[in-house]
Amino acid sequence: MTTITSPALRARWQALAPREQNMVLAAGGLVAFALLWWLAVAPALSTLRAAPARHAELDTQLQRMQGLRSEAQQLQSAPRNTRGDSVGALRTALAQRLGNAAQLNVVGDRATVTLKGAPADALAQWLAQARSNARAAPVEARLTRSTAGASPAPNAPVPLGGAAAAMPRWDGTLVLALPPAQP
């Protein structure tokens, strides 16, 4: 049945009874099966079980990347703003979203916004408008939570329960980089 190379092992093998030889062969087969399971089958089954979750995660990443790609393509295809258009868009959005809670100062290719009691949600909406409409990118922010209960900005949503003072507000400055001047 089997070939044993060492004369001492061959003598020992032949000294075993046929029943003992069968038990040794069965034990060897069991060890070989266990090794095959642990080294080949179990990792493959583990990968197979984890595949649906990993597939869903990768699908989510793909959708996010496609969304970012379409946003980048939309920004690339939009007409270029002049610096005056960008500053005008910043001023308009600032007046609409933050009202008297913010002041804009433009020097060169930077726009500095000074905030006093600006509502957090209105500030976030204004930053999104600044990025998409004026193509201005924040480069520096020095914000602290406001302790004063400033009046709500125009068009600012009122939180549930009508407690406008409970809405977080910010004091400080934001510096935005304006798009480069067109030749």
Q: Dump pLDDT digits (tens) for 5-17.
A: 788 888 888 898 9
Q: pLDDT value at position 59? A: 97
Of residues 3 and 163, which shows the higher confidence score?
3
Q: pLDDT value at position 158? A: 52
Q: Is the pLDDT of residue 81 over 90?
A: no
Residue 156 in contact with residue 121, Cβ under 8 Å? yes
Q: pLDDT value at position 86? A: 82
Q: pLDDT value at position 77? A: 81
Q: Is the pLDDT of residue 138 over 80?
A: yes
Q: pLDDT value at position 2? A: 54
Q: What is the mean pLDDT of residues 135-141?
A: 89
150 pLDDT band (50/70/90 cuts)? very low
